[in-house]
Amino acid sequence: MNKNMRTKNLLIYTLIAPTMVLISIFGFAFRTERKKIFYVPIGTIGIYLILSKDFSRRLIRKKILNKIKFFKNNK
């Protein structure tokens, strides 16, 4: 079950978030003036998903590196 959840999260971040950003860019560029505002929330959520995944990945890598350094120094 845990593997299924990882696959689901991977699908969300690799496909859906960039697609949301692209939809918002195209919608904002090609829609009439009145309906442009509807694409701003889609773009913000897409950008938020991408950035949050990037920051969490960096934190996880930093924690792993600190553990490696700790065990290396305690030999």
pLDDT tens across 1-13, in order?
466 666 677 776 7
- How long a stretch of residues is the chain? 75
Which of these ranges, 8-12, 29-33, 59-63, has the smallest mean pLDDT? 8-12
Domain ranges of the chain: 2-73
C-alpha 57/C-alpha 60 separation (Å) is: 5
Q: 2 or 61, which is more confident?
A: 61
With both helix axes pointing from N to C terminus, report the angle between 17-30 and 40-73 in degrees, rounded to the nearest 10.
150
CB neighbours of 43 closer than 8 A, spacing ≥ 6? 20, 21, 23, 24, 25, 28
Asked if residue 45 has pLDDT above 80, the reply is: yes
- pTM for this predicted structure: 0.69
By C-alpha distance, which of 5, 6, 12 is closest to 49?
A: 12
Query: For residue 13, what pLDDT is reported?
Result: 73
